[in-house]
Amino acid sequence: MYTSSVEKYIRSKFAELDLLRPFRTRKYEPGTILEYKLDSTYSQENPKIKIEIEKFIGGGFAGQVYKVKLLSYSPQKIFFNLKTNNYYALKILIPLGGFARFFRNILYWIGFGGSFQPQVNPSAAKTGAIWQRFIRRAARITFGNEKAVADIYGTLVDSRLGSCGDLIEWVEGRTWQLEVDDHINLIKAWKRNGPDKIGEKSVLGSQEYRDKYRFMHDFVDLLHLIGAPEFARQYEWSTAKSQPNCLKRIEDSGDNNTGLTAVDFRAGLVLLPFLPMSPGDFKLILKGFFRGSLVQFDRGNLIKLEEFVKKHEKEFKDIKGLLKELKYHESIYRNSLPDLTHNHFRILYSRKLWQTILKSSIVSWKIRDKIDENFASSLNKRNFLTLICYWVSLIPILGNILLVLVGNSRRRKHYISALTRPHYLQRLL
């Protein structure tokens, strides 16, 4: 049976082989110590943090989630809400399973013509994180409490897994209590007409179910109001798969009207116009079409957000400066892909678009260990060479192999050693 001790034993035996390639890691085991530089959503300073994996929570197409303990951070001073020895959620934006990763990436490629950006583009990860900060503040206006949205402290890059990630508030919560409902027909009438038209409210069944239904619908309305319709897809009731994204805090489990919290703002799958994957997707595809967004993922409307912030200037006073940062990262993110459904013919003539695509490609290759630091520095000085590497990388299977052979000296030595040194090949096998 696979356990953490078995994994540690395998690692130790692997280390004895003295190979040029690192141990392949797909997930972290409890007790693993990790260090990151956190790109903060709260401060201009980006602290170095040390965390310990407490347990693996689960994952899906968007990535894998861990409960972690914060061991330390520097510089040593009060840093917003981070406290040592407290628990947080670490979300690394790469799926655990190979098929999930392939399926997610192929849909994203069809939709936007490039790699899954939240995983490989720090600006894409930061864009989503800043949007979550604004959504959290807007929730305080609508619901009277910021706790209606999980806090997010910053983004990071995990070089071992080859992915960006988030450090988020740890919410101790559950979906809802499973209860038998003998009056499902009355629930339908309640949804149409409201509770006052039903008569005896006690026969309606689960109050908690109805509170969650109302909360998620109100939350979707809020997201549309502030210009985040594609983030709202994560909370559309009709998709029949969004309910786990909203948790009931254990600390508020005694009161049905409080404690509901939106915890997930990272979509996993692109919504393609010809591939609805839930009942609610048909409606969302149609709305996206009229909005001019044929392919939907996590695009927001910065004009509507800015209007909302100005209207509630007092409530956003302390985070208003994040708007400028959001515009900066949003521009990099949206110009890092061909994205024909939004960029249209700009791909044929826009120098800025191509410059950003190539620069972001270098960052992406480096995060995924396809190229090393030296080759990345060389590419940043040679646009034509970067363009060649970009076109080579588009060749299925062979393109990535060629890119690694040219751009990563350690991995190149590994392959050459396997072909020319019998003893090395024996250790490898």
pLDDT digits (tens, 9 = 90+) for 287-345: 999 998 999 999 999 999 999 999 999 999 989 889 999 999 999 999 999 999 999 99
Where does residue 181 fall: left (phi above 0), alpha (psi -120 to 50 degrees), or beta otherwise? beta
Helix (H, G, I), strand (E, B) or coil at 271: strand
pTM of the model: 0.92
| Average pLDDT score over residue span 118-132 | 97
Domain boundaries, the chain: 4-334, 335-429
The residue type at 131: W
* pLDDT at position 178 over 90: no
- Distances 300 to 59, 63, 223, 304, 327 between C-alpha atoms, Å: 25, 21, 10, 9, 11
| Residue for token pair 């309606």 | 204
pLDDT value at residue 104: 96
- Per-residue pLDDT band for 177 (boundaries 50, 70, 90) equals confident
- pLDDT score recorded for residue 82: 85
Per cent of the chain over pLDDT 70 is 93
Average pLDDT over residues 138-164: 94
Q: How confident is the model at residue 106 (pLDDT cuts 50, 70, 90)?
A: very high
What mean pLDDT do residues 259-270 have?
A: 93
Confidence of residue 147 (pLDDT cuts 50, 70, 90): very high
Q: What percent of the chain has pLDDT over 90?
A: 75
Distance CA 248, CA 176 (A): 7
Nearest Cα to 231, choosing from 293, 141, 186, 312? 293
pLDDT at residue 411 greater than cutoff 60: yes
The pLDDT of residue 205 = 67
Mean pLDDT, rounded, of the chain: 90
The tokens describing 7, both together, are 């994994």
Statement: residue 5 has pLDDT above 90: no
Q: How confident is the model over 45-94, as pLDDT tens digits?
A: 888 999 999 999 998 999 999 999 999 988 766 566 788 999 999 999 99
The residue that leads in pLDDT, 254 or 57, is: 57
Q: Give the contacts of 247 (CB within 8 A, at least 6 positions apart).
A: 171, 173, 174, 175, 260, 261, 263
Q: Which residue has the higher pLDDT, 201 or 410?
A: 410
Contact (CB, 8 A) for 151 and 244: no
**196 pLDDT exceeds 80?**
no
Peptide bond between residue 47 and the one before it cis (omega within 30 degrees of 0): no
Residue 255 has pLDDT above 70, yes or no: no
Say if CB 336 and CB 372 are below 8 A apart. Answer: no
pLDDT for position 197: 53
